[in-house]
Amino acid sequence: MTANKQIDKYIQSLPAWQQKICKEMRQLIHEAAPDIQEEIKFTNRPYFTLNGNVCALLSAKDHINVFIYDPIAPDPKGIINQGQGNATARSIQIYQHHSVDKSAFVALIKAVAANNRKGGWRKLKKLDSKA
């Protein structure tokens, strides 16, 4: 993993409990797809990309949002807790004393990365609708 210094700075600016969550999610993202790239978009938002957006981190007052940029990647363990049915993205809200099923999160990121390697969820959805 090549850490993006701007993402390091973003995480370091957060309260300790949010730093812990972001560091853990970042590690799991790279575990799921080691070739994922880190970049900053919209001035200061940490994005993780691989042939398109995979996910992004965003701190909120009382939680961390992990935006998942693929509405068709499977979530069999139900870790996505916001935006089901959205056309382009869903999210996982992680509160201070909560955790995410790590293996389910890694599987979800692997699925998004796999879809991106195949041309992205939009292309796959269009192909699926023609079948």
Q: List the strands of the sheet with 90-95, edge to edge.
A: 37-41, 45-49, 53-59, 63-68, 90-95
- Name the pLDDT band for 12 (thresholds 50, 70, 90): very high
Closest C-alpha among 120, 123, 113 to residue 50: 113
pLDDT at 131: 58
pLDDT tens, position by position, 67-81: 999 999 999 999 999
Q: Strands of the chain (E only): list them.
A: 37-41, 45-49, 53-59, 63-68, 90-95
Check residues 131 and 125 and name the one with the higher pLDDT.
125
The count of structural domains within the chain is: 1
Its domain, for residue 29, covers 5-130
